Structures are given as structure tokens and as C-alpha cells.
Structure 1
Amino acid sequence: MSIDRRQFLDACSAVGLSGLFPGALYAQVSEENDEPSITTDHVAAAASIAGLTLTDEERELLVENLNENLEQFESMREQELPNSRAPATMFDPRRGGAVIPEGEASDEGAEVSLPSVDRPSADEDLAFASIPELAHLLRARKVTSVELTELALRRLRHYDDRLHAVISYTEDRALEAARRADTELDAGTWRGPLHGVPYGAKDLLAVQGTQTTWGAEPFKDQTIDKTATVVERLDEAGAVLVAKLSLGALAWGDVWYDATTKNPWNLDQGSSGSSAGPAAAVSAGCVPFAIGSETLGSIVSPSTRCGVTGHRPTFGTVGRGGAMALSWTMDKLGPIARSALDCAHVYDAIRGADPDDPASVDVPFPFDAERSAASLRVGYLQEAFGEDYDNQTADQNTLDVLRGLGVDLEPVSWEVDVPVGALLNTLDVEAAAAFDELTRSGGIDEMVRQGENTWPNVFRTARFVPAVEHVQMDRLRGVLMEQAHAVMQDLDVLVSPSFGGGTLGITNLTGHPCVCLPNALRPVEDGPDARRQPGSISFVAPLYRDQTALTLAHAVQQETDIHRRRPPIQ
């Protein structure tokens, strides 16, 4: 049976021959045989890397099976598997021991209290108004949704030559939705605090009638004939989608096919990612909120870089129908806004089970903005805060704010004894499966970023992760979930450095929710005096109790003003 180079590499991958120099090995095979096949010599050379000790007889049997399996693998590849097709197995964070709290999920939501404010005299002030403030102005008819929508579109266009945060505008859709919102509000119909409020969506969310590029050159002309569930829910809430915002190509970083999205606090710096456009647009006052996604830091990192508040919800509490799949067991959709209170209102509108996402669930959300921070059981990663890192002073100041609010900070540690770094290979393998056809067709060669630490290389490398090791990752992940639950079950919130203590990796694997709030604006050397480097701190809540992290973050933001500062955009 003759095999080509791709079949050869796939065969090596099937038995876990990772770490090989596959190009050179294939070349050797080709020189030895006009119709190359895997031989016992090749298996013997790779056995030690695969962690196997084989007899001559075992190598013979293995070679025979490998060559026979190639036809079976090829028959699978002939089956169409769109990105939206999820695996039969599903990730359930409750396997670690958590349960969904009792309550009517559809009825028990955030309490809404709108401040009585006057319309600002300057559009700049209106652009940075909070969601509750905008809701009051809209409901009192002191401003119209069309005005807010046109303001958002103007600001996006004005700043985008510097920020590169917009992939496409949805102006016609937006103005139609804004006019509809104004008609309803004029008639006394109020859908809630998002009614008439403009927003942006990360361009991995499908919206019918628009391009959905996933930020990547191979998909820049892609259209998907459906609208993502999260966008539909925001439509129902009366929110107005004004733009599809940038993401690092296939949800990595801030480099997309046309540009690098910039940090409004320092235009010499990228906005981080992969929710690059959402964070930059919110920070610059172009939209009050945006929808981002996180698999491993893609809300926390750009929110930190751009000085805004990000909420990564509990895994499964926001339906992912119509969203690009990167990792079926780790992807989460959530809001990026200027405050925790704004995030709470957005989360309340988008949460809930989704028929197009089998991993999604209904949960209650009894968020109370007036709840005392002192009533919460709060732990903090004492050892992590004691390390030397860039944002240490600001983080210590935040801990002091918590103590001033009457919070009794209990020192805790994750007490994790599994190799978290190894388990994060789960993301690489699932992403490689999600974009398998792109890899095998050579489409990844069209992506802007190439090299060692990029998707093309990761996708290829993941083909050589042994299937057995992938299953072992999953089994050890169950252990990690149990250990994390043991720490979180006696707490309402755990406070951590955003990038310290192993928290980011652990909680993205376990599915725990996180609220990342800005707490620093450090001066930047060698630049205009107004430039700053934002920093953040993270509040983690038990599974399905997002409201406690949002409550504590809101309490801190009531005592501080970092989240209200405006970037220089220079």
C-alpha cells in the first residue's frame, strides 16, 4: 500500500511517535522504498520517544497494524466535520463535586437599580457612561438609542486607524435595531438595562448577513448563515450590535490578518488577546461593552492590558451556539465592560442553556449590587501575592481596600499536585482537531503569524500527541477539578494575582468563573507622559456562583476609580 507524506505523519501520530523529526524520517523512508511504508526500523528508532520497549515480534505486529490503519484514517477524513460539530463526549465541571445552586434560573437574575442622572453636555462623557446610567437616560428619553448608536459608530471610525479594533461594521443592522428600540421605549416598553445600548462582538461570533472572519486570512471572506445564540439573546434584550471586533487569528493574540490591535493606553503596544478588539474598543469609549471569549486568558489578558473589567463566566453558563470552536472543553463567552456592575447586567442577559451547545446549562444569578463585601467568605493566595512581580504594589493596595471593607482575608493555596502545564496540552489537541482540515490542506500557511509559538506549529505538533496521553490528561483533569473544588467549596471568592499562583491555567481547566478588574495605571517610560501600563487583579468564584466574584469586584470599584479613568489613545 502506497502512502504519501501526510499519511506517513498521521500514522506516526496515531501511535504517539511524538518528538520525532518527521520530515527527515519520511525522507529516509522514501529513499528506501519507491512506495514508502512504515517499517520495523522506523518504529524501533521512535519507540524510546514514545515511552515503549518493544520486542522484534511486537514491532512487526505494530507495523502491520499501522499500515492497515491508514485506510481507516483516510475514510474518516473524507467525512465533513465543520468547526461547529462538537465531539460526542462533553466536559462537565460538576464532575469535581460542584452542584448548580437551587433556584429558578430564568427568573432569578440581577437586581436592577438605575441612577437618576442628567444627560452629559459632552459626547465624550456620554461615551464613557455606565450601562445603568445609559439605561436611565434611555428610559427617561433624555437620549435616544439612535444617538448612542451613531456616537459609537463615529468613535469607532475616528479611532480605528490607530486601534485597528474593527473587522467590520454592522451599521444598517444597528440603526434598524436602534430605531426599533426607540419606538419601543417611546411606547413605554422597556426590555431591561441593555435596551437601546450599543455594543461590539468578537468576530468569532456568527451574525447572519455579515462576514465572520475568525481574524484569520483563510477565513476573511467567510459568511455563516446563522446568528450566534449570545447575539440573539442581546437582540432580545434590546442591545444594538454596531461592529464585529478583532481577535488574534483563530483566537490567539492581537495579530489578525489585516493589523495588530493596539492598547488605547499605549499605542506602541498591542492590546493583547485574543479578545483584542473588544477590550480596546471598550477601553477607548467606543462601546459600553463587548462580548469576548476565553479559552486560556483571552478575556483576562486583554482586559488587563487595556485597563477594563472582564468577566469569564462559569463554563457552560453562556451558550456557544454560532461561536467558533477552539477547544470544546475550555471555550467560554463573556462580557468585557468598564465595570463589574456593567458585566453583571450583560451576563444576566446572555446566560442560560443553548440548544446549539450541549454543554450549556441554566443557572440562577441572584446578583445584588448592595450586598456587603464583609458578608463574603474571601480567601487569597498569600504565597503568590508575596512574590516579586510587576503589579505587586497595586495588588497589595487592593487587598488593603478589601480589609477596609471589612473583609476577613483567609490565606489559602490551591494545593494542586497534578502537572497543570501538561494538562493544558488539551487545548492544543482540541484546537488541532477543530482545524484539522486547515492543517492538512496547507491553509495554515496563509496565516500571518508563522514560527515556533504560533497556531500553525501548534496544530502540527499536536498531531504527534499520543492518543493515550490525551486520555490521561483528561483523567488527571478530573483530579484537578476535585482538588480545586476542595479549595473553593468553603469560599465565596478567591483573590489572586491575575497571572500568578497558577490561577489562570487551573481555573480555565476547571471551568471556574473569574472577574478581572483594573487596579493600576503605571507610568510608561520613553513615551508621552499620559501613557500608562494598566494592571489587574482577579477574583475567582465557585462554579455557578459568578455573582459573588462580581459582587466583590463591584464593592472594590465603589471605593476606587481606576476603572473610570480614560486612556489617552496616543
Structure 2
Amino acid sequence: MLKKGVVVLIGAGCFISGAFITKVVEDKISVGVVREAQKLIGLNFTDAQLDSSLNKLEEFKQNYEVLRKQPLTNDVAPALVFNPIPVGYTFEKTNGKFEAEKASGVKLPKNREELAFYNVPQLAELIRTKQISSEELTKFYLERLKKYGPTLECVTTLTEELALEQARKADKEIKAGKYKGMLHGIPFGVKDLLSTKKYKTTWGATPYKDQVIDEDATVVKRLQDAGGVLVAKLTLGALAMGDVWYGGKTKSPWDIKKGSSGSSAGSAAAVAAGLVPYAIGTETLGSIVSPSTACGTTGLRPTFGRVSRHGAMALSWSMDKIGPITRSAEDAAIVFNAIYGPDGKDQSVYNAPFNYNQSIDPKKLRVGYLKKDFERNYGFKENDEATLAALRNAGIELVPIELPNLPARELTLTVSVEGAAAFDDLTRSRKDSLLVAQHKNAWPNTFRAARFVPAVEYLQAQRVRTLLVQQMQEKLKDIDVYISPSFASNNLVLTNLTGHPCVVVPNGFQKNGMPTTITFMGKLFGEAELLTLAKFYQSITNHDEQHPSMDFAAKKKS
């Protein structure tokens, strides 16, 4: 047992009688202190060896203090970049023509409320043919955001003034014959960890709820350059965890008694409820997949290194990814086509093409599935079995595959350590006490605990991750796409670590009325094939066309 007043130092952290502190109360580190400290990391050096290390430990401690005085904002990345590319792997280098399926014969519905659930090609055709103006469409979605947003608790900031300005600009451009494509004049929302000029970027967390980063994130700029109209900043669980933020808990429009999951909580809820046609989310360890499942949306998590994260809050530099949350795989392809590729600011982004077009035959794709995961007993197994059956009946041959047998869940310390570094100042200033969630698995405790992970162990974990990347490549060498239950945490964790892309699509409902999804996984930089198969599945089913009744607003009123 530690005696009261004894300080244990591991890395840059301090521990006294079970409580974390930020001030060292002893001038010197003793053998006894280090002997107790090494128990935290499973080592057993002799007293003589520990005594020999004391000078170096004191030197390290002094170095920590010097380095802590150097200001480091969240946007400063480490001089280390994760490389998801296995040895010997090459990706396609030829840029082909992007081609999405256009909607034809689209008419403005008599009941304008139906517009809320139109997909991007349908809305684009209405705007292109001038059946509705961008300004009219923008006002329509702004009204829905005002009507349903407060109940769903999915909006941090309405960007109404900017939206109307951008919509009017789009209308002038289209009238002048300068039509930019399917996103021109279409409203959208972004997860509020992406910076935007003049508007707050809150990261969903109380310490940052008034923060203004007066710069458009690369993704925001690219969508606006494509003619998009930003109507809202959407909620995220505080610092990208869960669906609880400083203003409440974001709800699923399928059942407002249930949360929308997270952390891209507001993006998924808003798309599912028809408050925006599409939105941008991010994922580190499930933050697109999970809310898309809870809200019944289509969510694309691209390959690591596909989309610039410039202007996005950093949680884990080696795992963060940005992608669209939409109504369909086709919509996801259209949005992804506008945001992918290098920007000269995020050094992790690769210059790889996205050759999505009608020439890809889904029936010629080599498709695998995680047979053992589908054989398990779980609550909505019938939905997943129906998905596999529908694909087989449509001519898709499914080949059983297995994932690498390496520790993956243990590697999630990566997020804890990198997150602790990203929010080091929050922890040491004790402003982490302002976060709403304070349970034992919440960020404040995770960040504190991560200070006790030695740098050596973090780097050893990344070496195991290298093995994982290599073995994953071997498993997928004869596969273009594979299918996994969305609940399969081993697949979710492993592929977030290796950087492989996935798209989740609705495939039915649970007995309690909540939606379910199925996960399609792609090869590195294989979003074109991945989205082609997902689109094919959606063409032979109608799950993506279902939407919530929205009667919760009337019930609340009464």
C-alpha cells in the first residue's frame, strides 16, 4: 500500500492515495516510489536497477515540465502518420469518370412534406429543372430543423443567414447556366466538430460551447464549392463520445425515448428525420456505424487517409475518419465524390482515385461474409439472414471468410492515449470536470488513466497494429467486399484500426420498432466497389425508403 503523501510518477502523470493531482509534492523520486509505480505496468526491476534509473527519471520529469509550457492547440498533429497500406499493396492510380445515376421524370410533390425524404438525385433534378429554387428548398429544411430539432436535440447551431445567402447564390449561378452538379443548391448539415467561419464549433462539450474557429474545414469548403448550402451544425456526444452533449441527449426519430447513439448523433438523427438531405459525420471507433444503425440511415466510413481532416477536432490522429451519412449508397457516393482527396493540409491523405460508375458489375464482385458471426444468436438475426438470402437470390455468390486472429480490442488503448494527448490541457487544467458525462468510462477518467500508459507500450501496440494491417491484406487478397453483422464488435474495432472502409445500410427493424443495419466492408480505397454492392442491395430491397412517422411532434404538442 502507498503511504499518504507518497507520489508515484508514470510518464507525465501523478498519483496520490488513489486521487489524481497536477502538482508534485516531493522534490525527488525515490526507489520506493518507482518500485510501486512499476506495478501499474507489470514490470519488476530490482532496487539496484531502479536506483540507476533515478537520474534519468528526474531528467524526464524536468523535460515534461518544459514541454508542457509549449502551447499545443488541438489542430497540431504528432510528427507520426499512420500508414494503412500493407507492404506490397498497390491501389488503382488511374482516375476514371465519376458517374452517379440521375433521376428522371421527377415532379414536385403536391404534398411538400414528401420532399423531406427525397434523395439527392431527386432533389437535384427538381433544382436543375427549376421546379423548385435552392432558396425555397433551404427554407423548407430550415423550418423542419426548427420544428423537429428541439425535440430530437440534434442541432447545436442553425446557420440560417449563411444558408439563405448560399442558396440565393446557387439560384443565380443555376439561372446563369453555371450548374455545378448534383449537390448544387442542396442543403446539408455537418457534425459540430468541423470548423465553420463565423459560427461556433462546440465539439459538443461545455468547455468549448462558445468556441469560434473562424475557418471552414476542408470538407465544409469542398461541399460549399460544389454548390452545397450549409443549414446547420449538428450535435455530437461531448468530444466525440456517445449522444450526450452539453445541451442534452440526441434522440432517434424512430423512438424519442431512445438515444441516437453516437458520436455522429445529430448527423444521423437529422438525416433520418428528413431535417437535411445528407450530413457529414466522423468515426474513430464506431461513430458513423452506431448512430446510422440507431437511426436507420446509410453511413459511409471511408478508408483512413481518404478525406482531409483539416478543420476537424482531433481525437485520435491515427484513427479519425470523415464520411457522409445519407439516405442511400448512391447519395453517399455523390457526397463522397465531392470531399475525398488531398488538400495539402492533412498529410495523412492519399491521392487515390474514386472510380464509381455504372461499369462496375456487382455480380462480378468477389463477395465474402463473416460466417461465424452470422451463425451467432442475436436479436435481429432474421434481418441479417434475409439480407444474405436476398443477395444470393440476386446472383451474388458469398464466400465465408475469417478475420485475423490478433488482439484488436487491446489496441484500442490507441484512442485513449491519443485522445489524452489531444486534450491534455483540458485534463491538467481540471476543466474536464465541466463535461456532462463523468462516469468511470467517460472521457475525463479515460484521459487520466491514459496518462499512465507508457510510451513504450503505446508503440508496441502500434507494432502489433502493423501485423494486423498485413494479415488483413492476406485475408482479403481474393475478396472485393465482405459482409458483417453491424453488431460484430470484433469487425468494427479491427477495421477501424486497419483503416478499411465500410458502409452500413438499413435492413429491417427490431421487435421494438428500432431499425437495424447490415455492414458492407471494402478493401483499402475500394469505396467504388463497396458502394456499388450496397447500392445493388438497396435496389432489390426497400429498407432505405422507410422513414419515421414524425408523429412525436404532434404528441408532444398535445
Secondary structure at the aligned position of 1:437 is classed as helix
8 Å CA contact 2:271–2:327 kept in 1: the answer is: yes
Distance 2:47 2:510 in 1: 64
Residue equivalent to 1:568: 549
Residue equivalent to 2:156: 167
Change (3 A) 1:72 1:490: same
Secondary structure at the aligned position of 1:242 is classed as strand
Match of 2:297 among 301, 308, 315: 308
2:77 counterpart of 1:79: no
Write the mapping of 1:467-506 to structure 2, written as runs, cut at 5 A: 467-500=455-488, 502-506=490-494
TM (norm. structure 2) is 0.94
Secondary structure at the aligned position of 1:346 is classed as helix
Residue equivalent to 1:139: 128
2:10 counterpart of 1:12: yes
Where structure 1 has 5 or more consecutive residues not aligned to the other structure, the ranges are: 525-531
Match of 1:53 among 44, 56, 59: 44
| 1:373 shift after superposition | 2.2
| 1:46 shift after superposition | 3.2
| 1:177 shift after superposition | 0.6
2:500 counterpart of 1:512: yes
2:93 counterpart of 1:90: no
Distance 1:168 1:34 in 2: 45
Q: Which amino acid aligns with 1:349?
A: A
| 1:233 shift after superposition | 0.3
**Identical counterparts, % of pairs:** 46
Distance 1:121 1:398 in 2: 34
Secondary structure at the aligned position of 2:324 is classed as strand
Change (3 A) 1:144 1:128: same
Match of 2:15 among 19, 22, 26: 22
Secondary structure at the aligned position of 1:160 is classed as helix
Residue equivalent to 1:103: 94
Distance 2:495 2:207 in 1: 32
Residue equivalent to 2:447: 459
Q: Which amino acid aligns with 2:66?
A: S
Residue equivalent to 1:294: 283
Deviations 1:392-425 (A, max 9, x none): 11000000111022001001111x2321011111
Distance 1:23 1:123 in 2: 63
Deviations 1:252-273 (A, max 9, x none): 0000001100000010000000
Residue equivalent to 2:536: 555
Q: Which amino acid aligns with 2:528?
A: Q
Secondary structure at the aligned position of 2:16 is classed as helix
8 Å CA contact 1:254–1:261 kept in 2: the answer is: yes
Write the mapping of 1:520-539 to structure 2, written as runs, cut at 5 A: 520-524=508-512, 532-539=513-520
Q: Which amino acid aligns with 1:463?
A: R
Distance 1:365 1:344 in 2: 9
Residue equivalent to 1:410: 399
| 1:97 shift after superposition | 4.3
Secondary structure at the aligned position of 2:505 is classed as strand
Change (3 A) 1:290 1:369: farther
Change (3 A) 1:183 1:422: same
Q: Which amino acid aligns with 1:85?
A: V
In the alignment of these two chains, the number of paired residues is 546
8 Å CA contact 2:309–2:321 kept in 1: the answer is: yes
Secondary structure at the aligned position of 1:539 is classed as strand
Distance 1:398 1:382 in 2: 13
Match of 1:154 among 138, 143, 147: 143
8 Å CA contact 1:380–1:494 kept in 2: the answer is: yes
Q: Which amino acid aligns with 1:13?
A: G
Residue equivalent to 1:324: 313
2:272 counterpart of 1:283: yes
| 1:369 shift after superposition | 4.7
Deviations 1:323-366 (A, max 9, x none): 00000010000000010010000000111102220001222111
8 Å CA contact 1:445–1:456 kept in 2: the answer is: yes
8 Å CA contact 1:521–1:562 kept in 2: the answer is: no
Write the mapping of 1:190-209 to structure 2, written as runs, cut at 5 A: 190-209=179-198
Distance 1:191 1:169 in 2: 25
Change (3 A) 1:192 1:23: same
Q: Which amino acid aligns with 1:466?
A: P
Residue equivalent to 2:61: 70
Secondary structure at the aligned position of 2:517 is classed as strand
Secondary structure at the aligned position of 2:10 is classed as helix
Secondary structure at the aligned position of 2:86 is classed as helix
Distance 1:538 1:149 in 2: 32
Change (3 A) 1:274 1:256: same
Q: Which amino acid aligns with 1:552?
A: L
Change (3 A) 1:34 1:505: closer
8 Å CA contact 2:98–2:357 kept in 1: the answer is: no
Change (3 A) 1:26 1:511: closer
Distance 2:25 2:82 in 1: 45
Where structure 2 has 5 or more consecutive residues not aligned to the other structure, the ranges are: 553-558
Q: Which amino acid aligns with 2:542?
A: D
Deviations 1:104-156 (A, max 9, x none): 3xx64234533221111112211111100111111010111011100110001
Distance 2:318 2:451 in 1: 18
| 1:36 shift after superposition | 4.9
Deviations 1:476-517 (A, max 9, x none): 000000111111221110100112161100110001000000
Change (3 A) 1:44 1:563: same
Residue equivalent to 1:390: 379
Distance 2:220 2:450 in 1: 32
Distance 1:268 1:276 in 2: 14
Match of 2:438 among 428, 450, 453: 450
